[in-house]
Chain A
Amino acid sequence: MTASDDLTFTLNGRAVRVSVPPMRRLSQVLREDLRLKGTKVGCDAGDCGACTVLIDGRAVCACLTPAAQVEGRDVRTVEGLVNGTLNRLQQAFLHYGAAQCGICTPGMLLAATTLLERDPAPSEAAVQDALGGVLCRCTGYRKIIEAVLNAHRFPAEAQGKAAAALVGARVPRVDGGGKVTGSEAFGDDLAPSDALWLKLIRAPHASARFTIAPLAQLLARYPGIVRVLTAADVPGANEHGVIPAFRDQPVFAVEHVRFAGEAIAAIIGDETTVAGFDVADFPVRWETLPPLADMDAATQAAAPLLHHDRPGNILTGGFVRRGDIEAAFANAAATVEGRFETSFVEHAYIEPEAGFARRNGDTLELFVSTQTPHMDRDETARILALPPEKVRLVPTACGGGFGGKLDMAVQPYLAIAAWLLDRPVRSAYTRPESMASTTKRHPGRMHVRLAANDEGLLQAIDFAGDFDTGAYSSWGPTVATRVPIHCSGPYAVGSVLAQTRAILTNNAPSGAFRGFGTPQAAFATESLIDALADRLGIDRLEFRLKNALRAGDRTATGQLLTASVGMADCLVALQAPWQAARAAAQAHNAGNGITRRGVGVACMWYGCGNTALPNPSTMRVAVTAEGRVVLYQGAVDIGQGSSTVLAQICAETLGLPLDVLTLVGADTSLTPDAGKTSASRQTFVSGRAIFAAATDLRRQILRLANAGERARLELTGTTLSFVDGADVRQVDLARLPADVNGIVLSAEATFDPPTSPLDADGQGVPYATYAFGAQMAEVLVDCELGTVQVLKVAAAHDVGRAVNPALVEGQIEGGIAQGIGMALMEEYIPGRNTNLHDYLIPTVGDVPPIATFLIEDPEPLGPYGAKGVGEPAMIATPAAILNAIRDATGVTITRVPATPDRVRAAIAAARARGAKASDVQG
């Protein structure tokens, strides 16, 4: 037990007194003792800056500040920025879309505040210096920089103004207010103060057998432990998985662990006991086994099986065959071939997995940060042996997901504990736990051949890829399936042979991460596209344009594309920037210095929604007798802005302003299933569902007054007016018969994008629509040190229709930032870099200016023509950067990340081979 001392300091202008242990982190004092949850915790190590507060006017990390050190000092937190109204900086953040998920926003705001108080109109360099210590994983930083630079242009006090509802407008996010004031509640922000704390006991070994000794001694030593949970305590199935047919992951391991970080037990108790618990005290005996550390080890004939029903440690495979590739290669004018390798990539959302659970009679309620409430509900119910409706899942605000929060983390443990103890139980993963135990991007090892004819038309692709899927299946089957469909890129290729394998190893499970394997495949294919264009003497961009998929073409799966194929338009948009960038690079390189500039372009396409599987979303919208329009929407906004986009579509369709809408959800007890926030599907699928529901509701509304289609609606109080020229009719909603919830009219609609199953050759219609894009990166390579600086990125994306261009740009900029990370610095090494100082993600200084070109080739099935952009935003980026490095140096890097040591080694090896490191003219 640590003794507490009285502590007095000034907090946001008011004197506070609190009794806490002197070495308690200030972040904990603020969050737990003073219940001010606006200060966020992302790492507890000073790496992410989310907990930035101001002490005597200076920015520090609250997680690195002992409580005792603030005695008598002046502390300011995000809660202190608001003084009745949003300040200039907060308004600017909202206006520019500088907050996406919002978890880094308080830290960003405070870091910027110290700068702006010294210099209200700072330079961009000063802004970057001020924000360099705060990591953001969503925005790509550009909009944050813009907001800080322009904050001084905003009025001192926010003026209320009604937001335009129109589809196509840059509406500030509907959930933005809470993000810039720090009042938005994330996974670790909601637990009641009497909640018990839960901590998992995890395997330190990648492969081991274990025995847990009797717990009596442990319980005697830690009287504050109220319960220990192990596999024996799971009421229902001790297994879960995101794909029912592949469910293979235990909640608690039984006798045997398959990766370092796997949970074997949980302890539950008061905060002091749990926080002070030394995991070395947990009575477990380990018998380590040699781990299958990589795909080579796992596929050796003598390798032990991770799962007895997966021979050869092959989880599953994917296959697409079309045309006759051997004939195509035999008759080709030019062929190229290469082997490429990618690494584990960590999602590194700034919010670690967190939540709390409580039992409410015969129902278990779970409040967690997740991307997929209904799937979590159903899996949790199975684990508790309850019917699904006896589990209520309420997603909290999600501080970044990117696919990583599609798998369960804290959910089953909290659920079991709260169910058995009938007390609220909370947990938040530490950063090392989050990194060790949750899913990663699949490392890929790919062998690719391409063939073209003498007119420069692609004829064939032969793609073989192995993906390290880790110890459990997670989304491995999805990656194995998606990659063969997409690996030929957005090009018309007559003959395709694409084969993938998901290989089980003793690593953390690989799962869903922005693109489901397609960024890895694009890196390989797009590198070879450059090589092929060079071989044929065709400009690299023009080569892509020549081969771009167009309406009327068939895809690798034989699907006939009929509309919304904006690939060529994307490339055309980049033609002028491409020429300018090529010229600038050439001018720089004429200087023959140590640094060389290069320009790279890469294309992407991406099927929106589940692959050849049902994928419905249901939305409901209602009018109340009180004169509100309530949108019951179960789509989780993980920062990408789906709540805003869905509200815009709803308001536009109803013909009512945005501010009459009340958003309810997501909450599995209140909102219908909108499906998961993944596969870039919410705008397209849920957007179409809300469009259909709102269309129905508008018809019902018009019928109230027998008004015509063209009637303009106005809602004032409970009076609904129908204005059609001089004809004005009115209905008092309060006089209409209402149901028990006060609802007078409602409509519900479901949209399930039309797809068809794939046949044995992978032929069929896997997706109802595809997003297309092309990105161009300009880089500066230090040829001695091997460092690469991205100078500029231009991105052209066919989004069908940009429902909210500011949010679309936000997705693109954020995707590019993650692409820069994957290309240049991100490599998770199991067990070695489970923190955010050894595992690097881009900082504010690593993301260059980004020019976005929005191409709107409408998708007939989409709401107002819209389709997805979340994942498409990052798929082409690593490929474009690697192609730019090749353009600059003449060296093809075949493994990402292209860290300085790898780039330098590749340049040195090329020089040693006598390769001419000079311009490869396109």
Chain B
Amino acid sequence: MAAPYLRPTSIAAALQHLADGPRLIVAGCTDVFPAHVGKMVVEPVLDLTRIRDARGIREESDHWRIGALTTWADVAEATLPPAFHALQSAARQIGGVQIQNAGTLGGNLCNASPAADGVPALLILDAEVELCALTGTRRLTLAEFILGNRQTALRSNEILTAIRVPKTACGGRATFLKLGARAYQVISIVMVAARLEVAADGNVAAAAIAVGACSPVARRLPALEAALIGTPGAGDRLRAIVRPEHLHPLAPITDVRATADYRREAALILVRRALSSFGAGAP
């Protein structure tokens, strides 16, 4: 019988364990235990939290590397370029401090909730995930990795070890707007992350907009991004460009938090507000 619980200190050891058979991979456990209310965790577990080099944020030559075990509090407290401010803002709004201190970015992505606050903020950074197996390492974009509600491309012999943000996506400033029905500890009805790079001429050089909780997986809005390129980077001008059809990639549902119609309307409003917040075109 497989050991019920393993807590290796290296990725190599962890992968070796996985090769012996599938395991429930855990880190901050902020999703695992809520899924086991009134039950015990009986599956064999692989706990990654002792793998020290899988935690922390590091600047490499052409990308930023965020270890999968980096907690939301780590992100919030890090000194990062303005393009990461949406991610940092999301980090401060996920659950309460208790969740931020335990929950990890890797776990948030692997849990693949449609309402995962981290996903839109990482989408606008063109984030990729690094998936390691004994047989090799592969890199997928977030869109390739998160396939649906609670579905990912992670194979049973793989571990998500890091998130990579290419420096090409680290320009400009970013903002994050979260809409929920109360002030703290709230699952989002809609959230929007936006990143904008304004060129020296005052016009938008690059734009990345993502909306969460309005489709099985948070989505970028490529048509809107394209429409923004080249326009003056002033809030009011940016806002005016947004059209309902730009939200076409979204497919909101009705649930206990809001109706589908409301989500669609609120997403439009929040996208406009996110763009307005970029102000009078300061680079």
Contacts and interface: CB of A to CB of B under 8 A. Distances in A.
Interface of A: 2-3, 5, 21-23, 25, 43-47, 49, 52, 58-61, 63-66, 68-69, 111, 114, 128-130, 132-135, 275-276, 278, 430-433, 784-787, 824-825, 827, 829, 832-833, 835, 837-840, 842-846, 899-901, 904-905
Closest 5 CB pairs of A and B: A133-B96, A845-B183, A132-B184, A901-B262, A45-B34
B77 to A, nearest CB: 11
Contacts of B187: 837-838
16 contacts: A5-B5, A23-B40, A46-B98, A61-B30, A64-B33, A128-B184, A132-B185, A787-B179, A832-B256, A833-B256, A842-B182, A900-B181, A900-B266, A901-B189, A904-B265, A905-B261
Contact of B102 (A23, A65, A844): A65
Contacts of B259: 901, 905
Given A900-B266, A905-B261, 4 more contacts: A60-B101, A129-B92, A132-B96, A837-B34
B158 interface: no
A842 B41 CA distance: 31
B195 to A, nearest CB: 22
Main secondary structure of the interface of A (DSSP, over half): loop
B118 interface: no
A128 to B, nearest CB: 8
Main secondary structure of the interface of B (DSSP, over half): loop
Given A133-B185, A901-B259, A60 B47 contact: no
A129 B181 contact: no
Given A46-B30, A133-B97, A66 B37 contact: no
Interface in B169-215: 179, 181-187, 189
Given A68-B7, A133-B97, A825 B181 contact: yes
Query: Which of the four size classes fits the interface of chain B?
Result: 35 or more
A133 B37 contact: no
B183 A22 contact: no
B29 interface: yes
B125 to A, nearest CB: 25
Given A46-B30, A66-B47, A68-B47, A61 B182 contact: no
Nearest to A67: B5
Contacts of B97: 58-59, 111, 114, 129-130, 132-133
Contact of A66 (B26, B99, B261): B26
Contact of A44 (B7, B37, B258): B37
Interface in B138-171: none
Contacts of A837: 34, 185, 187
Nearest to B27: A69
Interface string B27-63: 0111001100111111001010100000000000000
B227 interface: no
A825 B30 contact: no
B262 A900 contact: yes
A133 B72 CA distance: 14
B242 interface: no
Contacts of A842: 182
A840 B39 contact: no
Contact of B37 (A430, A840, A846): A430
Contacts of A839: 256
Contact of A58 (B4, B30, B101): B101
B95 A905 contact: no
A59 B270 CA distance: 32
B269 interface: yes
Nearest to A429: B38
B73 interface: yes
B5 A46 contact: no
A787 B266 CA distance: 11
B40 A61 contact: no
A840 B96 contact: no
Nearest to A54: B101
A59 B98 contact: yes
Given A64-B102, A843-B184, A829 B256 contact: yes
